[in-house]
Chain A
Amino acid sequence: MQSFNLQTQDLRDLNAALQAQAEETNQTVWEVENPRGSHAVAVGLNAPIEVNVRGPVGYYCGGMNQQATVHIHDSAGPGVAENMMSGTVVVEGDASQYAGATGHGGLLVIKGNASSRCGISMKGIEIVVHGNVGHMSAFMGQKGTLVVCGDAGDALGDSLYEARLFVRGSVKSLGADCVEKEMRPEHLALLTDLLAAAKSDAKPDEFRRYGSARELYNFHPDNAY
């Protein structure tokens, strides 16, 4: 196990060391102590390693991740797992705004609440939030899945393309062109897998599904302001 203490060691050195790990590395488990809200901890990784971050992080932790598992054992600042390509990012606490923004792949699990704009412009990432999400979540989501075990804030799924949204609790309001849709067996199967992967004990049949009404794909004079 490799250990890094950000109270005494440099963040750039940590990221350089993590980014230097190759697919066949034998340094597979890393511990990061005292991040103290630092920005961009464990970003740009591209190896099947596990990084445990022990403490709150600031902006962009786990950003651009590929293959790696980044486990934040506390809360995360804005933009956690932003533009993730593959791998897993787990946040034990709360996540600030735009968690998982623009993510192309991989799994982001937030065990607390996520604030506004969770999954904004998501492009294939799968996000499971054990708690609530704030307003404008999945705004312009193109692909992927957002699962919310708690409640969703205002304007969920505004201007949505093809991302799939599942909410167990209440939805304060739906955004433009976002509608509730029928839950079919393939959706229950997808939810079962995602909830298991995210270690949530929520039941798939407790959720409702939301998606795009596809009314904004083509110009319509009624949509012009």
Chain B
Amino acid sequence: MCGIVGLFLKEPGLQPELGALLSKMLVTMSDRGPDSAGIAIYGNGTAGLIKLTVQSDTPAQDFDGLDVALGTALGGDVTVAHRDTHAVLSLPSSKAPDARAALAQLRPGVRVMSTGDSIEIYKEVGLPAKVVARFGIDQMVGTHGIGHTRMATESAVTTLGAHPFNTGSDQCLVHNGSLSNHNALRRRLAHADVHVETENDTEVGAAYLTWKMREGATLGKALEAGITDLDGFYTFAVGTKDGFGVLRDPIACKPAVLAETPEYVAFGSEYRALADLPGIESAKVWEPEPAQVYFWNHGAPTPAGKAA
């Protein structure tokens, strides 16, 4: 099964509540998947700085003194904000290309969950309520976010197998379904020099979209190409630095509900996830069409719409 939620705020006044609203939506979907849970949250970044969200199984050891060690290795200021098994490293954007290698050298046990100007990804094994609580996600502020609770099918129940997946800067993907051609696609991506970390099918999907966008496609076009190239069942929710999108495969077995008000666009695997949102009674609520890309962007003030 798996449960997916997404919330894209159009009304800036709701930004302080993003974490709380999204957490509640995700916890409501717990019975669609108890294995692991994760949230990608897009907060306000700081100009000139990039954020790496990292994870460690031995956080006390790995994150202690990491700011100084990484700062020295990179030759710039690094700050570390520690949250349970995760930490957000802020460093000068110019140092970003070297950061992964330096980190692997300094702290081999540390895994990178996300990189980007505004994205932070928190994910762990366990029920959504537990995952939300350990990272304090309900306190987080942001413009949009995506959450996922997993019932594992294609790969092991591990932190790295949890969603969301981030493969390109500020991009993330969550998935309900299963991709059947992920091994073939992984080989294609390897030829194009796209790195895929795990055995997970969704990560391949995320890497595919990143690759398409690297080749010049917009997110909408990348998703459209996915309709041809990705074989399997999927409802995807995707996030970019300032956008949020939804796509279902042409068969559309996996459920999806969208809701829109002047204040927000919300997505859930089921209506239950949306039931507590403010003003949901008067929202436009509908089921997204199969093989149709839906995309909203903070950069584009035009009414919500479908990407061509």
A interface residues (Cβ-Cβ under 8 A, vs B): 36-38, 56-59, 75, 77-78, 94, 96-97, 115-116, 134-135
Q: A37-B274, A77-B271 are in contact. Are A94 and B252 (CB under 8 A)?
A: no
By size class, the interface of chain B is: 10 to 19
Q: Is the interface of B mostly helix, strand, loop or mixed?
A: loop
- Cα–Cα distance between A135 and B289 once the two chains are bound (Å): 10
- The 14 listed contacts between A and B (C-beta, < 8 Å) are A36-B271, A37-B270, A37-B274, A56-B275, A56-B285, A58-B272, A75-B271, A75-B285, A77-B270, A78-B255, A94-B286, A96-B255, A97-B287, A134-B290
Decide if the interface of chain A is mainly helix, strand, loop or mixed: loop
Residue from the set B250, B271, B274 with the largest chain A CB neighbour count within 10 Å: B271
Q: How far is the CA of A115 from the CA of B274 in the complex (A)?
A: 19
- Chain A residues with CB under 8 Å of B253's CB are 97
In the docked arrangement, what's the CA distance between A75 and B285, Å? Answer: 9
CB atoms of A58 and B287 under 8 A apart? no
Inter-subunit contact A96/B272 (CB<8 Å): no
The answer on a CB contact under 8 Å between A115 and B271 is: no
**In the complex, what residues of B have CB within 8 A of residue A36's CB?**
271-272, 275
Judge whether A135 and B290 touch: CB under 8 Å: yes
B267-292 residues with Cβ-Cβ distance < 8 A to A are: 270-275, 285-287, 289-290
Known contacts A58-B270, A77-B270, A78-B255; A96 and B287 CB within 8 A of each other: yes
Interface residues of B (CB under 8 A from A): 250-253, 255, 257, 270-275, 285-287, 289-290
CB nearest to A136 among chain B residues? B251
- Whether A97 pairs with B255 at a CB distance below 8 angstroms is yes
Q: Decide: A58 and B271 in contact? CB cutoff 8 A.
A: yes
By the criterion CB–CB under 8 Å, are B290 and A116 in contact?
yes
- Chain A residues with CB under 8 Å of B250's CB are 135
Q: How far is the CA of A23 from the CA of B204 in the complex (A)?
A: 57
Inter-chain contacts of B286 with A (CB < 8 A): 94
Interface pair A37/B255, CB less than 8 Å apart = no
Whether B285 and A115, one on each chain, are in contact in the complex, defined by CB atoms closer than 8 angstroms, is no
Q: How far is the CA of A115 from the CA of B256 in the complex (A)?
A: 11
- A37-B274, A97-B253, A97-B287 are known; give 13 further A-B pairs, CB within 8 A: A36-B271, A38-B272, A56-B275, A58-B270, A75-B285, A77-B270, A94-B286, A115-B252, A115-B287, A116-B252, A116-B290, A134-B289, A135-B252
